Amino acid sequence: MKNKHVLRFTVVALFLISATSLNYFEIHKQLDIFSHIFKEINLYYVDETDPAKLMDKAIQSMLSSLDPYTTYIKESEIENFRIQTTGQYGGIGASIRKREDYVMVVSVYKDAPADKAGVRPGDLLLAIDDKSLKGFSDSEVSALLKGSPGTQFTLKVQRGDRILDLKINREEIQLKAVPYCGYVAPGIGYINLTNFTDKASKEIKDALTDLQKNADLKGVILDLRGNPGGLLSEAINVSNIFIPKGQEIVSTRGKIKEWERSYRTLDNPVNTDVPLVVLINRGSASASEIVSGAVQDLDRGVVIGQRSFGKGLVQQTRKLSYGAQLKVTVSKYYTPSGRCIQAINYSQRNEDGSVSSIADSLRRSFTTRNGRTVYDGGGIDPDIVTEPRRFSPILSALIQNNLIFDWVTLFVDKKGRDKIDVNFRLSDNEWTAFKNWLKDKEVSYQTRTEKLLSEIVETTKDEQYFVEIENELNKLKKRFQRSKEDDVEKNKQEIVRYLEEEIVSRAQYQEGRIQKSLTADHDVAEAIRVLTHPDEYRKILNP
């Protein structure tokens, strides 16, 4: 019997060694073929080639066949990658975007160098130290604005009809992971977390500590909507603030068994008793899903909003030669109930190379600590589903064509930033002024009704009915066009709300915009309702 076991072990070992040898042989073989092709093309191709560009395309093509998160980071891009994980860089503290021939300032961070120097949203960046920025992309201008803290430069901007020269000293910029926290109702605290940078958990802990200074804290709303994720370690640490020490938050499993791990809370929590609501939506991904998944699986709180993105893949950064790095997917993560929320299986592609989400019918069920049913394979499903905020076609057009941005720039410049606080309300006269300003502006957009009407026209042409009903269709289009002219007034409430948020952001920065938006936030209102009805809160967690 013993000899049989030895023989079986020997056969298995030889098989594994043989398989590994074959794998290494195949890798060596393909690398040899590729290097020969690369050499032959660079030597003999009819036109001059750029070896760096050829190699970059080859790498990008290879990685694109895997998943969107396995990426090659060139040495020139390392600084931007570091900023994503730390939220820290040397620069002026402003966000920008392309506007015709130049780049325009979209927002500035409070007390950052740009703010201190008097840079304002709407400014066109004309030159840096007499170097013209005409034709530069936003990424090129961003690279020029960044630099070592303490260095100085002169920024030439155009503000309306004025040309200004502003002297700016670069500083170390630390983007806040928690741009706002405060009370949204009596006893109900609110914390907004935008990213899982290396200081996210500290900022959440500080925010919760501040909220707890009010002895009447009855509930906390943790807003992870639009949060794309970040560091896995910070997802654990943020969870640990609300979840007891020693609890599994997430586990990872991949091809390399030695890397499989179970991540547990290591510290004493700040508060495990306060009722908790986590807000998520389609923009909540990765670390956001780890936190919301753990809160849901451990029945620590109620999740409200819309189904999350569904990114259950873990990346690890591997150093390469010449300062480059590879961010490679090494494992999948699993929430405490055992589910993987990854929505797309990139290893199973369609014949055309496309990938599909996992069908709801194929999602497997799991149970939370209290026995509630949850599902894998498609993000985190909220305990209470709400409708997402959707813009009407007219508001979307006004935003996309920079018309709201431009009018607010003029409005704030005339009114004065010192006269605007988070309680600002647009008056009827100011609304009329906005509509009058729009009259000579072109606003082009297509409503859902117009899209359907266009489809009907095309269908009738294909089926040869168009001639018979052409007059009726044209009359309908004209009648609808007249109705469309009134869309601004019809959607007044929605447009005014957005105008007020934009106006407040110019004087009160990102913190003010968030605070203003909360006054008409349906998800937040639902969270407040649940937290102020303890019986309903308990019933959701204990069915």
Catalytic residue positions, numbered: 286, 297, 311
Q: Do 236 and 249 contact (CB within 8 A), yes or no?
A: yes
| CA distance linking residue 202 with residue 453, whole number of Å | 54
Which of 476, 500, 475 has its CA nearest to residue 420? 500
**Six-digit token pair at 223?**
């807003």
Q: Which residue carries 């309702």 as its tokens? A: 529
Give 278-340 as a DSSP string: EEE-TT--THHHHHHHHHHHTT-SEEEES------EEEEEEE-GGG-EEEEEEEEEE-TTS--
Give 417-457 as a DSSP string: GGG--TT----HHHHHHHHHHHTTS------HHHHHHHHHH
Strands 180-185 vs 188-192: parallel, antiparallel or unpaired = antiparallel
3-state secondary structure 34-67: HHHHHHHHHHHCCCCCCHHHHHHHHHHHHHHCCC
| CA distance linking residue 56 with residue 62, whole number of Å | 10
Tell me the residue type at 356. S
| CA distance linking residue 333 with residue 372, whole number of Å | 21
Tell me the residue type at 467. V
- 277 C-beta neighbours (distance < 10 Å), count: 28
Which of 337, 334, 336 has its CA nearest to residue 367? 337
**Six-digit token pair at 259?**
């890397």
- In degrees and rounded to multiples of 5, residue 367 shows phi and psi of -125, 145
Q: Do 200 and 256 contact (CB within 8 A), yes or no?
A: no
| CA distance linking residue 155 with residue 114, whole number of Å | 10
Instruction: Find the helix packing angle between 492-517 and 428-438, rounded to 10°.
Output: 120
Q: Which residue carries 């910070």 as its tokens? A: 234
Identify the bridge partners of residue 366 per DSSP, sorted by sequence position.
374
Say which residues have a Cβ less than 8 Å from residue 334's Cβ, sequence separation at least 6.
Answer: 250, 251, 252, 253, 312, 340
Rg (the chain; Cα; Å): 28
| CA distance linking residue 150 with residue 153, whole number of Å | 10
